Amino acid sequence: MPNSQVFSQVPPAPVVLAASVFLAMLLMQWSPLMEDLSLNLPSEPNYLHFELSGPGSSSGVYQLNDGLSVPDVIELTVFSSAHLSPSAESYVKPAINGARYGITKKDQKIEIVQRGWMSAGKRIALGIALHPDRMSRSDWVALPGIGKKLAEKIHIDRQKNGDFGSLDALKRVKGIGPGRIATWRIFFSGL
């Protein structure tokens, strides 16, 4: 049988994908390098991360460094011919690590239509410290040991009793004790 007939058929894509996934899992399981990788990316003290979203924008998470400001990055990544409106410029100053800006374009000007926080999952991955007063129900679920019910209890307690102010103040929520707080402290560094 000629060689061209033996290799005339390419394996189906699912077979190739399954073999690739199996090989990757096998290598990661035994790789000593994987043991040394940290849970999150190193957070450089001079870098700032923020997220942009909106129609016609280059949505995504951006790292700020090298003397650029949030307005500079927005103008470079969103609409090359547009500039921030004066109200939008004041809205992004001072630059805040972990901020999320919803943007739009109106009359050749970039407007900020919403400012908030990146999801807790993104902040954790980027090494940005969380704050208990800047978290939604879905943000709480991103932490280990918190399901929807406990996240709801935290949310209700904050609505009834006001901001927590610190991680340790979460002890006032039934079901949260020193053990859970100790587990979460790494995500709330500095509090």
Contact predicate 118/98, CB 8 Å: yes
For residue 171, the one-letter residue type is K
Note every long-range contact of 104-108, with CB atoms under 8 Å and residues 24 or more positions apart, other chains counting.
Answer: 104/54, 104/55, 104/56, 104/57, 105/56, 105/78, 105/79, 108/81, 108/82, 108/83
What are the average pLDDT values for consecutive 10-residue runs of the chain, which has 191 residues? 51 66 56 40 66 77 76 71 74 80 80 85 90 93 92 96 94 94 87 45
CA 172, chain centre distance (Å): 27
Can you give the pTM of this predicted structure? 0.66
Predicted pLDDT of residue 24 = 62
d(CA 153, CA 156): 5
Predicted pLDDT of residue 163 = 95
Take residue 101 and report the two structure tokens written for it. Answer: 């800006």
Contact predicate 51/99, CB 8 Å: yes
Decide: helix, strand or coil at residue 135.
coil
Predicted pLDDT of residue 111 = 80
